[in-house]
Amino acid sequence: MSNQNLTEQLEVATQQFKANSPIEGQIKIGQMIEELQKSGIASGKQPGEKAVDFKLTNALGRDVILFEELTKGPVVLVFYRGGWCPFCNMQLKAYQQILPEIQAIGAQLIAISPQKPDHSLSLQEKEGLEFQVLSDPNGLVTAKYNLLFDVPPGVKEVMEGIGLDLAEYNNTSKWVLPVPATFMIDESAIIRSSYVNPNFMQRQSPEEILRELKNL
């Protein structure tokens, strides 16, 4: 395990991205982040609102129903972009490190992305993830949590330029992504706290998740 915490790892990755990526692509991605921040298009569900129930498939092809899981205890619900995103991989690995503490509190962690199940399984095996990793085809559940947005044409060009066909990766015809988010949901299905950040290079820290869980 790295001696760096998640925030430090993300900062290093951000600096590497800025150093190694063509400036034109960085500008397009920066414009996307700024537009999402200004528009509030994908601002996420808010604390105090009721969580939206769902049934999604995990990496092994089994159905997971949110409200059934909530009968076992609180849920930390994480929306991430996909296994192709290095920032997401750092986030999920860091959350895996605190999974025993999450479970000791009586809660569980569930992560959702638009990617197809075989990519979720590859990610789970590669990163040694022991929590549920679910696939949300076309981002239908993501949209109900007010997190889904269409990838702008300029950013689509950037992604295609590095060989990433997002539609194929997600087994869909749509180029859509979630704004990365983390929700603390109590056993009454009420969202007690939320972290929603259009800047995909920043994520909620594991320490903050544990603090908020202990306050449920």
pLDDT tens string 124-160: 998 899 999 999 999 999 999 999 999 999 999 999 9
Q: What percent of the chain has pLDDT over 70?
A: 99
Taking the whole predicted model, whether its pTM rises above 0.85 is answered as yes
Query: Domain limits at 141?
Result: 6-214
> In degrees to the nearest 10, what's the CA dihedral of 23, 26, 32, 34?
-90
Q: 86 lies in a domain? A: yes
Q: 107 lies in a domain? A: yes
Total domains, the chain: 1
pLDDT tens string 80-133: 999 999 999 999 999 999 999 999 999 999 999 999 988 998 989 988 999 999
Q: What is the DSSP secondary structure assignment for residue 162, as one 8-state letter?
A: T
How much is the pLDDT for 147? 98
By the 8 A CB rule, do 57 and 49 touch?
no
Closest to 144 in 3D by CA, of 152, 136, 155: 136
pLDDT at residue 2 above 70?
A: no
Q: 36 lies in a domain? A: yes
Please state, rounded to an integer, the average pLDDT across all residues of the chain.
Answer: 94
Closest to 99 in 3D by CA, of 80, 124, 117: 124
The average pLDDT across 177-188 equals 98
CATH number at residue 79: 3.40.30.10
Residue type, 204: Q
Q: 1 lies in a domain? A: no
pLDDT at residue 78 above 60?
A: yes
Q: 102 lies in a domain? A: yes
Q: Which two tokens stand for residue 24?
A: 């034109």
- Report how far residue 92's alpha carbon sits from residue 81's, in angstroms, rounded to the nearest whole number: 11
